[in-house]
Amino acid sequence: MKKYIAYLRVSTKGQERSGLGLEAQRAIIYHYANLDKIEVAQEYIEAESGKEIDNRPMLQSAIADCLNDKDAFLIVAKLDRLSRDVKDTFDILEKVRGKFVSCDIPTQNGVLDTFTLAVFAGLAQRERELISIRTKAALQAKKNRGVKLGKPENFTNESRAVGAASTKQKALKNLNNRLASALIERFDRGLYTLQQIADELNSKGFRTSKGKLFHPTTVKRLIERRKVPVSSILKAS
C-alpha cells in the first residue's frame, strides 16, 4: 500500500527550535495526504542552509526509506524545500526511482511528469538566484546611504513586532492558497464535488472573505476565479 515519507526543511538551527516554517510545511503535507487517503509513515526534519544535498543526513535517511520500501514515496510541501537546484532535484528523483511528490506541483492522475518538474525546478533555481541578487543590491544600497549593517540595535521592538506580524500573515496567506489549490485540483480531477470541498474547507476552519461558511456556490466562485475550466465545473455540479 502506497505511503509517504515526509521531508521538511528549514534554513537554520534557530528555525528548527522555534518551529518557524515547519508547521506550514507539515500542514500542507498532511492535508495533501489526507485528500489522497495515504498514510505519512515517517517524517524527517532538516535544519540545513547548505546547498549540497550530500550534507543533509535527514534527506539521505528519507531517500533510504524510499529505496527500502517499494510503496514509499518521498513528499515535500514545496519543491524548494527539497532543492533550488535543477540538477540536484533530478538527482534526487533518480535516487528515489521517480517515487516523488511535491504538493505545489500539479499532476496528471497522480503522476508527476518530468517536463512539469523541470519547469518548477527551473523556477526554484531562478528564485534562489534572484534572492541573492536582491539581497546584495539592497545591502549595497544601504551602505551607499551610510547605514551601518549587521546591528540588531538599529531596530526597535516595535519594528520587530510589525515585521514578525507581517511575515506571519504572508505565511498564512500562502498556506491558505496552497490548501485551496490542492482542493481545486482534486475537483478538476473529478475526485471531489463542490459540496465535498465546501465541507472540507469548513471542517478545517476556513471561512469566506465575509467570515461565513462555505457553500457549493461560494466554492464554485472560488474555482472560477482561479480559472478552473468551466466545463469541469458544470459537469461536477
For residues 194 and 183, is the Cβ–Cβ distance under 8 A? no
Amino acid code (one letter) for 26: R
CA 118, distance to chain mean position in Å, is 17
Is 11 one of the annotated active-site residues of the chain? yes
Sheet of 100-102, strand order:
39-47, 3-10, 72-76, 100-102
Report the alpha-carbon distance of residue 198 to residue 180 in Å, rounded.
Answer: 11
Report the alpha-carbon distance of residue 143 to residue 210 in Å, rounded.
Answer: 45
Catalytic site residue from 11, 61, 181, 232: 11
For residues 64 and 95, is the Cβ–Cβ distance under 8 A? no
Report the alpha-carbon distance of residue 121 to residue 199 in Å, rounded.
Answer: 34
Per-residue DSSP letter, 7: E
For residues 100 and 79, is the Cβ–Cβ distance under 8 A? no
Q: Which of 162, 25, 151, 17 is nearest to 82 (CA)?
A: 25
Q: Which residues are designated catalytic?
A: 11
